[in-house]
Amino acid sequence: MTTEGRSQKAERRRQKSRRGMSPQRHQDTKNGQDRDRGINKKAERSVNSKELVAAITREFKAAVDPEYRVSVQRFFKEPVKLYGVRTPEWRRICGRFWGRVKCLPKSDVFALCEELLALRNGEERGVAFDWAGRMRKQLGPADFPRLERWLKQHVTNWGSCDSLCGGALGFFLLDHPEFLPKVRAWAKSENRWLRRASAVAHIIPNRNDLAVDSAYKVADLLLEDGDDMVQKGYGWMLKEIANKRPQEVFEFVMARKDRMPRTALRYAIEKMPPAWKKRAMAG
């Protein structure tokens, strides 16, 4: 008998069995199958947080590149706590574990993020910020205090600042521009990373040609800031606006170039025509 013939015969047996089954037995069987599916679905939506976080850390430690761990320090002025996992490997691990948690309720994912952040290590912190950004469509006004707290408590260098602002915070402001005044207030903070964040968090809305007036207000607030990390942050923000509004940014810069630090100025005009750059840098 061919494989097709055996399959047809098996199907006839199943149909005959169902015809001979009493209505009550058929319903009981269906209910049992539904319960099994429900149990499996529930299992998919629950994880042991401590075991998951430990598994993520084990994966990172197994992917350490000692040479990279040393070399990456040169990009930071302050010591950074990292295992030393190269970016492609970090992305692979982060994405693979996201596949295990993406069906969880937002509150459960945030709880996992808090556990990852509590380790105070760069790779796990990056995962927490990445997962928050992947939940952008679920972020609402009630989540702003958490994002702001993360910025204050867990951002300690430009990398972590840009990771949070270029992901979860930026997307949050894109969808909830009513929080822009709160973000602009960071420009007056004593914390250098909050000041940088007041600019960098505008970049995602700015790329969508939104919150531009707010961005100019931040640039004016930070205009003469003496911290080069802050200067680079708001210069980068102006450069992003210039991608769509070059003439407008050029005029903004020219009106302030005598007071604007050269670092911020160079960032802002980086993609402008050579003749414009020459005028901006003159004098």
Average pLDDT over the chain reads 89
pLDDT at position 29: 47
pLDDT at position 7: 52
pLDDT at 39 over 70: no
Q: Which residue has the tokens 């509004």?
A: 245
Determine the Cα–Cα distance for residues 113 and 49; give it in Å rounded to an integer: 10
Q: Given pLDDT bands bounded at 50, 70 and 90, which one contains residue 168?
A: very high
User: CATH 1.25.10.90: which residues of the chain?
Assistant: 43-138, 152-283
Can you tell me the mean pLDDT for 255-277?
97
pLDDT at 22 over 80: no
Closest CA to 219 of 228, 230, 209, 229: 230
CATH 1.25.10.90 at 152-283, yes or no: yes
pLDDT at 36 over 70: no
Residues 169/197, Cβ–Cβ less than 8 Å: yes
56-71 per-position pLDDT tens digit:
999 999 999 999 999 9
Kindly report the CATH class assigned to 43-138.
mainly alpha
pLDDT at position 47: 81
pLDDT at 260 over 90: yes
Can you tell me the mean pLDDT for 262-278?
97
pLDDT at 272 over 80: yes
Q: Classify burial at 49, counting beta carbons within 10 Å of its beta carbon; exposed 0-12, middle 13-18, buried 19 or more.
A: middle
pLDDT at position 30: 52
Q: Given pLDDT bands bounded at 50, 70 and 90, which one contains residue 283?
A: confident
229-256 per-position pLDDT tens digit:
999 999 999 999 999 999 999 999 999 9
pLDDT at position 217: 98
pLDDT at position 117: 98
User: Measured between alpha carbons, how far is residue 153 from residues 142, 150, 160, 191, 222 in Å?
Assistant: 18, 5, 11, 11, 22
pLDDT at position 146: 98
Determine the Cα–Cα distance for residues 46 and 41; give it in Å rounded to an integer: 9
Determine the Cα–Cα distance for residues 261 and 221; give it in Å rounded to an integer: 13
pLDDT at position 12: 60
pLDDT at 175 over 50: yes
Can you tell me the mean pLDDT for 189-203?
98
Residues 146/117, Cβ–Cβ less than 8 Å: no
Residues 164/150, Cβ–Cβ less than 8 Å: yes
